[in-house]
Amino acid sequence: MNRSRSEDLFARAQKSIPGGVNSPVRAFRSVGGTPPFIARGEGSRIFDVNGNDYIDYVLSWGPLIFGHRPRFLLEALTDVLATGTSFGAPTEREVELAELIRECVPSIEMVRLVNSGTEATMSALRVARGFTGRDLTIKFEGCYHGHVDSLLVKAGSGMATLGIADTVGVPEAFAATTIALPFNSVEAVETAFRERGDKIAAVIVEPVVGNMGCVPPRKGYLEALRSLTEQYGALLIFDEVMTGFRLALGGAQERFGIKPDLTTLGKIIGGGLPIAAYGGRADVMSKVAPLGPIYQAGTLSGNPLAVAAGLAMLRHLKANPDVYETLERRTARLCANPPPGITVNRVGSMFTFFFTSEPVTDWESAKRSDTGRFKEFFHWMLDCGIYLAPSQFEAGFVSTAHSDKDITQTIEAAQGFFRRG
Q: Is 239 a catalytic residue?
A: yes
- Contact by Cβ (8 Å): 273, 261: no
Q: DSSP state, 89? A: S
CA distance 251 to 247: 5
Rg of the chain's alpha carbons, rounded to an integer? Answer: 21
At residue 130, the 3 state secondary structure works out as helix
From 57, 144, 232, 278, the catalytic residue: 144
CA distance 205 to 231: 18
From 139, 154, 267, 367, the catalytic residue: 267
**CA dist 90 to 96, 273, 290, 315, Å?**
12, 19, 14, 21
Give the β-pairing of 38-42 and 45-48.
Answer: antiparallel
Q: Is 79 a catalytic residue?
A: no
From 56, 239, 362, 406, the catalytic residue: 239
Q: Is 144 a catalytic residue?
A: yes
- Contact by Cβ (8 Å): 197, 190: no
* Percent of residues in the chain assigned helix, strand, coil, to nearest 5: 40, 15, 40
Encode 115-140: b = buried (16+ Cβ within 10 Å), e = exposed: bbbbbbbbbbbbbbbbbbebebbbbb
End-to-end CA distance of the chain: 22
CA distance 37 to 40: 10
Give the β-pairing of 276-280 and 110-114.
Answer: antiparallel
CA distance 3 to 202: 47
Identify the burial level of 66 via C-beta atoms within 10 angstroms of its C-beta, where 0-12 means exposed, 13-18 middle and 19 or more buried.
buried
Report DSSP letters for 274-297, one per residue: S-EEEEE-HHHHTTBTTTSSB---
CA distance 242 to 314: 15
Q: Which residues are catalytic?
A: 144, 239, 267
